[in-house]
Amino acid sequence: METEAHRTVMAREVLEGLLLRPGGIYVDGTLGPGGHTEAALEQCPEIGLILGLDRDTEALEMAGSRLQRFGDRIRLVHGNFSLAGDILEAEGIPAVDGVLLDLGISSFQLERSGRGFSFSRDDPLDMRMDRSESVTAADMVNRLPADRLEEIFRTYGEERWAKRIAGAIQDTRRTRPILTSADLARIVSSVIPRRHHPRRIHPATKVFQALRIAVNRELENLKSALDSLPSCLRPGGRLCVISFHSLEDRLVKDTFRTDPRLLRVTRKPLVPQQDEIIENPRARSAKLRIAQRRNYNDKEPSHP
């Protein structure tokens, strides 16, 4: 079952990649609305436990309602996947059979959370996944020096017009604060020459992506998770990561290639099938990489 507002990305490939087994213990480190976890429990009802983590308390509430029929096979925790090792220790779980990280933002967060993730709405410019965190997107936009904003837009958004956009933000905030998503989107759109507006996406897409990554420290959290999660896996346990951004994918690729605890199951990332992209266009940039905790007599398998 899918919620009306969200479609689970690459569910078939994830379930195959996790090697679900009866009695197994798994971590959904980015639970969101709970789609991957629901699909896993429907496919393998004999799973021992899925520990669902999320930074967003609203997402946890939604997932809790969706997954309540699975009873004690589900345990939900408000927490950051970068701290999964500490959470597992606190939960009395020494090792797990598989971990999933889906690094995308959910349709609920984009369209209905009221936190300014979307340039198509006039919401407060917040962008925090976890509202207990102190720094919002509005804080960054209104307080950071222009050269730091330029760096964020260029590094995290690969935005060609980063310097011009940062300058326009600086000019605007001299007379009034920038407080809503629609206000920021208008500023960005106005300074990018119309002939350079992208055809398939909104002109502010890259800036909004960059701010979200910076506010939520997404790359730092991913790096911490990739450092710690392999040690949370039993030998033969699988780590599956779905990324949507080249910087994320590069971190995952490099870790899977160089970490001596891991064997690569996929040398090249898996991508959505065409039928999924047609049904869910937001899936088109997804890349799934899979690695396995090494038994130390293992050799890396050969892949095409």
What is the chain's Cα-based Rg? 20
**pLDDT of res. 236:** 97
Helix (H) or strand (E) holding 287: strand 287-293
Q: Which of 178, 234, 177, 245 is nearest to 210 (CA)?
A: 245
- Rounded to 5°, the CA angle 75-106-20 comes to 45
- Mean pLDDT value of segment 277-281: 90
pLDDT in tens, 194-219: 888 887 778 999 999 999 999 999 99
What is the DSSP code (8-state) at residue 105? P
Which band of pLDDT confidence, cut at 50, 70 and 90, is reported for residue 116? confident
Q: How far apart are CA 93 and CA 88, in angstroms?
A: 5
Strands 25-28 and 96-102: parallel
**pLDDT of res. 6:** 54
Greatest mean pLDDT among 4-8, 193-197, 264-268 lies in 264-268
Query: Which residue's structure tokens are 């009873």?
Result: 71
- Mean pLDDT value of segment 109-132: 82
Q: Who contacts 212 (Cβ-Cβ below 8 Å, separation ≥6)? A: 105, 117, 127, 137, 218
**pLDDT of res. 302:** 47
pLDDT in tens, 62-93: 999 999 999 999 999 999 999 999 999 999 99
Contact in structure between 292 and 236 (CB atoms under 8 Å): yes
Q: How far apart are CA 79 and CA 43, in angstroms?
A: 26
**pLDDT of res. 4:** 41
**pLDDT of res. 246:** 92
Greatest mean pLDDT among 4-8, 128-132, 241-245, 296-300 lies in 241-245
Tokens of 139: 């804080």
Q: How far apart are CA 151 and CA 266, in angstroms?
A: 33
Residue 28 has pLDDT above 70, yes or no: yes
Q: Who contacts 97 (Cβ-Cβ below 8 Å, separation ≥6)? A: 18, 19, 21, 24, 25, 26, 233, 234, 236, 237, 238
**pLDDT of res. 81:** 96
Let me know if 42 is exposed, middle or buried by CB neighbors in 10 A (0-12, 13-18, 19+). Answer: exposed
Contact in structure between 98 and 230 (CB atoms under 8 Å): no
Q: How far apart are CA 130 and CA 54, in angstroms?
A: 9
First to last CA, the chain: 34
- Write down all domains in the chain, each with its CATH number in brackets: 11-108+218-293 (3.40.50.150), 134-215 (1.10.150.170)
Contact in structure between 288 and 11 (CB atoms under 8 Å): no
Largest CA distance in the chain: 65
**pLDDT of res. 216:** 95
**pLDDT of res. 304:** 39
Which band of pLDDT confidence, cut at 50, 70 and 90, is reported for residue 301? low
Tokens of 287: 């890349």
Q: How far apart are CA 116 and CA 207, in angstroms?
A: 12
Looking at 86-100, 109-123, 149-163, 204-218, which range is the least confident one?
109-123
Phi then psi for 110, rounded to 5 degrees?
A: -65, -45
The model carries a pTM of: 0.90
What is the DSSP code (8-state) at residue 222? H
Contact in structure between 104 and 244 (CB atoms under 8 Å): yes
Q: How far apart are CA 80 and CA 132, in angstroms?
A: 12
